[in-house]
Amino acid sequence: MLASTKHILPRTNIRRERILPQLGRVVARRMQKVVPTDVVAEANLEPEHIMIDLTQGLNVSAAKANDLLQRQAGDVLSKGDVIAGPVGLFQRVVRAPADCEVKIAGEGKVLLEKDTPSYQLLAGMKGTVTNIIPERGVIIETVGALIQGVWGNGKIAHGVMQRLSKDLEGEVQAKQVDISFRGAIAIGGYCKDPEFFSTAASIPIKGLILGSMSSALIPVASKMEYPIIIIDGFGQKPMNTLASRLLITNEEKEISLNAQEYNRTTGKYPEAIISLPSPDNFNVPKDTDEFSVGKKVYVDSGPYATRIGTIEVIPLKTYTFASGIQTQAAEIALDGNQRAWIPLKNLEIIET
């Protein structure tokens, strides 16, 4: 059976496409070293247009207004430039209300496109631009540790990692974030108190990685200016042991957070990357795999959610759960010498 994979990898080749939502301009160069907050491309996503009725502005007919028109489509204007006129006793004219480009002119009207600020696409990770996709974006690569999450608040930052608690299992509390966290990426277990986020913002921290948080906090967490990544899901669950070990091992190293929105369809995950340059080649991690005995798995749902284990048995027959659901399942040897039957649909394979 085809299985999805969860990426918690101590060292791998990370290759990411950073693409504009529509055609624009790539500003990064090939082989450029970038950090997460560097702009790699830009586009004008929301062009603002102004329609000017020359017949009203000049108080003439549409035909006459066309005769008085001084500009044509494609002309670039500065604020105050004359578009049409002069006419009448007072030499009335129509001027450009802002820096703009004439898009359409005729029938007594002009349509102008204002010179509006561009949308800026950030690198989202530390690495090297290995390829340019003209007018669309870039490909950035690095070697390092990769931890993918399941919820992010859309922000990007990088900084040095600092632990909120020893084991990343318990609840994080506002009193744990003090001035020593200023400019740091804080890592912790789970959060159920909205005050924690505002206290962390006041320090200010640069970013936050949690195992889980109460879903009631989604609106508050979404508004925070610093990136927040949730690794395992919603609730009061400790961070999974693989991710917590990996983060703890690399404490005080620099980490990039791209807390982009999780989108299963596009395959975009919020992710934390610790760049660990190496002369060795590593494979790009697999996105799917097949279940088989001996594979390491992550339990994504149910009473054993966030636990890591190894597949012991996958019988051909279905297994009946307490819910009454009959489905294909596997017996899993969980961390801590525990065994449990878990639906295959609630498992993700972890590459080792």
CB atoms within 10 A of CB 345: 14
Minimum distance, C-beta of residue 21 to another protein, in the bound complex (Å): 8
How far the first Cα of the chain sits from its last, in Å, is 19
Strands 308-313 and 329-334: antiparallel
Q: Which is nearer to another protein, 34 or 231 (CB)?
A: 231
Minimum distance, C-beta of residue 23 to another protein, in the bound complex (Å): 7
Minimum distance, C-beta of residue 261 to another protein, in the bound complex (Å): 11
Q: Which is nearer to another protein, 266 or 337 (CB)?
A: 266
b/e sequence 65-101, b meaning 16+ C-beta within 10 Å: bbebbebeeebebeeebebbbebeeeeebbebeeebb
Q: Are residues 143 and 43 in contact, defined by beta-carbon separation less than 8 angstroms? A: no
How many Å apart are CA 247 and CA 148, to the nearest integer?
A: 12
Q: Which is nearer to another protein, 135 or 178 (CB)?
A: 135
Residues in contact with another protein by CB under 8 A are 2, 22-23, 45-51, 103-104, 111, 113, 150-151, 214-216, 218, 233-235, 262, 264-268, 287-288, 300-303, 305, 321-327, 342-343, 345-346
The closest alpha carbon to 213, from 205, 203, 222, belongs to 222
How many Å apart are CA 276 and CA 14, to the nearest integer?
A: 11
Minimum distance, C-beta of residue 168 to another protein, in the bound complex (Å): 19
Beta-bridge partners for 105: 110
Q: Which is nearer to another protein, 181 or 298 (CB)?
A: 298
Q: Which is nearer to another protein, 151 or 181 (CB)?
A: 151
